[in-house]
């Protein structure tokens, strides 16, 4: 009967090994697929190793109180061909000895026959065993630094190293394969945006949203000259809300919340092959009419790629009007140096129940979204901030 290896599994994204603290079964016992066999301890928790299939425990080659790397063989199960087929383990009947397998697998993360374990799920966007470069050796880091690449660039590689780690050989094959495909040079702006988003995503980002009625904003806009856009109303409301409590716009650095010195708010402007974020300084202290003139100036300068140095960076939050693309909902990502980004979706005519009239009436409604660094804000604080912005936008004459 075929012998199936019991392998130390990947017990967590950053866990490379675990120590054996208890054997829950003994050689000769009959077990079922998925049954707990071995109790192990990592630096984070106590977990169990389960049976890859049903059968009889042939042997254990792991020792109590010893640590084993992810991918090491811990023992063997004798199973019928039917059981092997049922669990999708395509292993030839002749298997190597437990000791030999332990040596091979600990070095190359292979199964009992020395071949790669193929995923049984098909049609995935990337291979099921493509864990990316969660661990990189100094040699691999040096090679990537030489080529100006980051770990994010290797996210789709299926590594052949221990626990699926990406080796230098995997990397070189990946790079060689790229040369056979169509390549176009990314613009400097696209590279800069990509780098900013990569750094932003190192934080836990969450998003909340609620609908806002724009009828009062649209009516007020008709009385203004020059006319502010809906996103500028949202920006001014955000600035006033942050002036009431600047802590929510603070950045977490170590164990301290760094409060902003001023409520400088940026806004996203689509430029060729990227996005620029000009900044309105002191947006909480200037009325909407004054902000409108500067806003229009900065939009034009951004589209020409001629923003002055004092009109970029240093903002505490960003407003983005994704509704200009017809989108009603989105989850934008805050810039690396910011905690918040406020989004405004496309306005739509929606039925709204009017209590006074006792009937539905049409209103223009759009979604406001607030994406935030969850280390600084919880859902309740984010929800209260968004509700306050909503309330302020209902009184545009006070903005």
Span(s) in the chain for CATH 2.40.50.100: 3-108
- Tell me how far apart the alpha carbons of residues 2 and 76 are, in angstroms, rounded to a whole number: 10
Q: What is the CA radius of gyration of the chain?
A: 29
- Two structure tokens written together for 359: 């009937």
Burial of 334 (0-12, 13-18, 19+ CB in 10 A): buried
From residue 340, give the alpha-carbon distance in Å to each of 18, 32, 299, 327, 383: 39, 50, 21, 20, 12
Give a three-class secondary structure readout of the chain: CCEEEEECCCCCCCCCEEEEEEECCCCCCEECCCCEEEEEECCCCEEEEECCCCEEEEEECCCCCCEEECCCEEEEEECCHHHHHHCCCCCCCCCCCHHHHHHHHHHHCCCCCCCCCCCCCCCCCCCCCCCCCCCCCHHHHHHHHHHCCCHHHHCCCCCCCHHHCCCHHHHHHHHHHHCCCCCCCCCHHHHHHHHHHHHHCCCCEEEEEEEEECHHHHHHHHCCCCCCCHHHHHHHHHHHHHHHCHHHHCEEECCEEECCCCCCEEECEEECCEEECEEECCCCCCCHHHHHHHHHHHHHHHHCCCCCHHHECCCCEEEECHHHHCCCCCCCCCCCCCCEEEEECCCEEEEEEECCCCEEEEEEEEEEEEEEECCCCCHHHHHHHHHHHHHHHCCHHHC
Write down the pTM of the prediction: 0.61
How many C-beta atoms surround the C-beta of residue 353 within 10 A?
9
**Of 167, 62, 158, 58, nearest to 117 (Cα)?**
158
Query: Is the separation of the CB atoms in 15 and 60 below 8 Å?
Result: no
Phi, psi dihedral angles at 314 (to 5 degrees): 80, 5
Neighbours of 342 (CB within 10 A): 27
What pLDDT score was predicted for residue 391?
94
Q: What is residue 211's predicted lDDT score, i.e. its pLDDT?
A: 94
343 φ, ψ to 5°?
A: -115, 145
CATH topology of domain 204-398: Chloramphenicol Acetyltransferase (3.30.559)
Which residue from 341, 345, 347 is spatially nearest to 370, judged by alpha carbons?
Answer: 341
Q: What local confidence, expressed as pLDDT, does residue 116 receive?
A: 37
- Architecture of the domain delimited by 3-108: Beta Barrel (2.40)
Tell me which residue of 87, 101, 102, 99 sits closest to 35, measured CA to CA.
87
Question: Phi and psi for 366 in degrees, rounded to 5?
Answer: -140, 160
Give ranges for CATH 3.30.559.10 in the chain.
204-398
- pLDDT score of 28: 93
Predicted pLDDT at 107: 33
pLDDT of amino acid 69: 85
**Residue recorded with tokens 């589209």:** 303
Tens digit of pLDDT at every position of the chain (399 positions): 788 889 888 776 556 788 899 999 999 999 988 899 999 887 656 788 988 888 999 999 999 988 888 888 999 999 888 877 776 665 444 444 444 443 333 333 333 333 333 333 333 343 434 444 455 677 878 888 888 787 777 766 767 776 567 788 888 888 888 878 887 877 777 777 888 887 888 889 999 999 999 999 999 999 998 899 999 999 999 999 999 988 888 888 888 888 888 999 999 998 776 788 999 999 999 999 999 999 999 999 888 888 887 888 888 999 999 999 999 999 999 988 889 999 999 999 999 988 888 999 999 999 999 999 998 888 999 999 999 999 999 999 988
């Amino acid at each position: 009967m075929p012998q199936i290896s019991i392998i130390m599994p990947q017990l967590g994204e950053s866990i490379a090994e675990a120590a054996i603290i208890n054997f829950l079964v003994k050689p000769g016992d009959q077990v079922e697929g998925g049954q707990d066999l071995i109790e192990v301890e990592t630096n984070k928790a106590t977990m169990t190793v389960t049976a890859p299939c049903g059968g009889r425990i042939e042997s254990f080659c792991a020792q109590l109180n010893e640590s084993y790397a992810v991918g090491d063989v811990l023992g063997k199960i004798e199973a019928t061909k039917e059981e092997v087929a049922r669990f999708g383990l395509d292993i030839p009947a002749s298997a190597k000895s437990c000791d030999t397998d332990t040596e091979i697998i600990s070095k190359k993360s292979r199964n009992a026959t020395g071949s790669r374990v193929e995923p049984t799920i098909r049609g995935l966007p990337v291979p099921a065993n493509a864990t990316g470069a969660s661990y990189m050796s100094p040699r691999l880091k040096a090679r990537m630094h030489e080529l100006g690449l980051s770990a994010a660039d290797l996210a789709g590689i299926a590594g052949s190293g221990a626990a699926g780690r990406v080796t230098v050989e995997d990397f070189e094959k990946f790079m060689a394969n790229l040369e056979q495909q169509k390549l176009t040079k990314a613009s400097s702006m696209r590279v800069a945006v990509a780098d900013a988003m990569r750094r932003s995503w190192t934080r836990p980002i969450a998003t909340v949203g609620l609908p806002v009625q724009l009828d009062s904003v649209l009516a007020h806009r008709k009385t203004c000259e020059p006319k502010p856009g809906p996103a500028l109303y949202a920006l001014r409301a955000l600035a006033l809300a942050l002036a009431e409590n600047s802590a929510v716009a603070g950045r977490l650095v170590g164990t301290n919340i760094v409060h902003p010195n001023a409520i400088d708010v940026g806004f996203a402007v689509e430029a060729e092959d990227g996005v620029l974020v000009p900044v309105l300084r002191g947006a909480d202290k200037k009325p909407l009419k004054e902000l409108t003139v500067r806003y229009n100036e900065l939009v034009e300068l951004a589209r020409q790629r001629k923003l002055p140095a004092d009109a970029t960076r240093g903002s505490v939050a960003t407003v983005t009007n994704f509704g200009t693309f017809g989108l009603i909902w989105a989850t934008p990502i805050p810039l690396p140096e910011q905690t918040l980004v406020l989004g405004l979706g496309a306005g739509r005519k929606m039925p709204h129940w009017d209590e006074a009239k006792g009937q539905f009436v049409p209103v223009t409604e759009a979604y406001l979204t607030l994406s935030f660094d969850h280390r600084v804000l919880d859902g309740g604080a984010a929800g209260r901030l968004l509700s306050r912005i909503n309330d302020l936008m209902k009184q545009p004459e006070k903005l």
